[in-house]
Amino acid sequence: MRNNIKKHHFIYKTTNLVNNKIYIGKHSTDDINDGYMGSGRLILKALNKYGKYKFKREILSYHNSSNDAFIEEANIVNDEFINRSDTYNLIVGGFGGSCPGILNGMYGRTHTDEVKKVMSDNMKGKVACVDKYGNKFHIHKTNERYINGEVIPMSRGLRRSKEFCENQSNRLLGSNNYSSKEVYIYENNILLKTFGTMNDASKYLDVSLYKIREYSKNGKLLKGFRVKMSKVKCKRDNNE
C-alpha cells in the first residue's frame, strides 16, 4: 500500500504578479520547496498562460495533519471567497483539488467526519453549474450570476420548468448570445449590408452558416460578395 503520510501540511496563497489574482489551497508534501502552485482548473490555465515565473506562493499557515489543513481551507475558501472577481478558486475548500488519480492530494484517503460536516455546510443551497467557458462548479442559488442566468444549472435528470427553458432559449438568440457575430457584406469593397447575426446573413445570401464562416476566413468571394465578421459584445462580456 502506498504511504500517504506527508511531513508538511499547509495552506498557501498563489498570486499572479501580473493581475494580482490569487488562488488559495491546501497542500501536503515531504518537500516544502516543491514549487507547487495549485491544481484548480483556472489556476492551471493561468500558469500555462503567464508562465510559472509570473507567480509567487506564500504559506499562510501550517497544520499538524492533512484533515486539519482541509478544515482551514474550507473556512477560508467559502462561497463569498469564490464569488470574488480576484480569485482563481472555482469551488469551496476542503475537497482536495481536481487532479485525477495519484496526482490528487486525497488519493487513497478519506475525509474525517469533521471535515465532511464543514464541506456539507458549505454546499448547502448550492447547485452544480457550468459557465460559458465550460468551467463546472457549485454556486449558491442567491448568487447574482445564477439569478441573472450567466451560468447554466447542470440538473442531471431533473425536469426543467417551461419558464426556465424559455429564458435560456431567449438568452441564446441573436445578439444575446455571447458567440454572436456581426456580419458585413461588401460589394466592390463598399459596405452593402450589416447583419447582427450569422443566421440573418445566411438567409440574405441563401447559403449555410458554414459558408458564411468559411468565406469570412478565407477572404474569397461568396456569390460575388465579400464577407467579414466581428464578435458582438454582449452585456455579460462587459461585466467581466
**CATH of residue 207:** 1.10.10.10
In a shared domain, residues 167 and 182:
no
- 3-state SS, residue 111: coil
Residues in the chain: 240
- Between 142 and 85, where is the model more confident? 85
In a shared domain, residues 40 and 96:
yes
Give me the phi and psi of 42, to 5 degrees please: -75, -40
Give me the phi and psi of 106, to 5 degrees please: -100, 10
In a shared domain, residues 91 and 185:
no
In a shared domain, residues 12 and 119:
yes
In a shared domain, residues 80 and 19:
yes
CA proximity to 6, closest of 93, 99, 106, 95: 106
- Between 211 and 234, where is the model more confident? 211
In a domain, 55, yes or no: yes
**Over residues 125-130, mean pLDDT:** 73
CA proximity to 27, closest of 48, 6, 1: 6
In a shared domain, residues 93 and 39:
yes
What pLDDT is recorded for position 207?
85
In a shared domain, residues 55 and 158:
no
What would the grid cell of residue 137 be?
462548479
In a shared domain, residues 158 and 194:
no
Residue 94: which pLDDT band, with cuts at 50, 70 and 90?
Answer: low
Given a cut of 90, whether residue 109 has pLDDT beyond it is no
| pTM of the shown model | 0.47
In a domain, 3, yes or no: no
Alpha-carbon torsion 30, 36, 39, 40, what sign? positive
In a shared domain, residues 148 and 116:
no
- Between 75 and 115, where is the model more confident? 75
In a domain, 128, yes or no: no
User: What's CA 88's distance to the chain center, in Å?
Assistant: 9
Residue 51: which pLDDT band, with cuts at 50, 70 and 90?
Answer: very high
Distances 169 to 66, 96, 161, 209, 236 between C-alpha atoms, Å: 45, 36, 12, 19, 16
- Cα separation, 182 vs 198, in Å, equals 7
What would the grid cell of residue 230 be?
466581428
In a domain, 130, yes or no: no
Range of the domain at 51: 8-123
In the listed set 92, 123, 154, which residue is the last one of a domain according to the structure?
123
Structure letter (DSSP) for residue 222: B
- The DSSP code sequence of 156-220 is TTPPPPHHHHHHHHHHTSGGGSTT-EEEEEEETTEEEEEESSHHHHHHHHT--HHHHHHHHHH--
- Cα separation, 160 vs 101, in Å, equals 34
For the chain, what is the mean pLDDT? 76
In a shared domain, residues 221 and 164:
no
Asked whether the beta carbons of 23 and 13 are under 8 A apart, the reply is yes
Count of domains observed in the chain = 3
- 3-state SS, residue 101: helix
Per-residue pLDDT reduced to its tens digit, 151-174: 777 665 455 556 656 665 555 555
In a shared domain, residues 167 and 187:
no
In a shared domain, residues 43 and 13:
yes
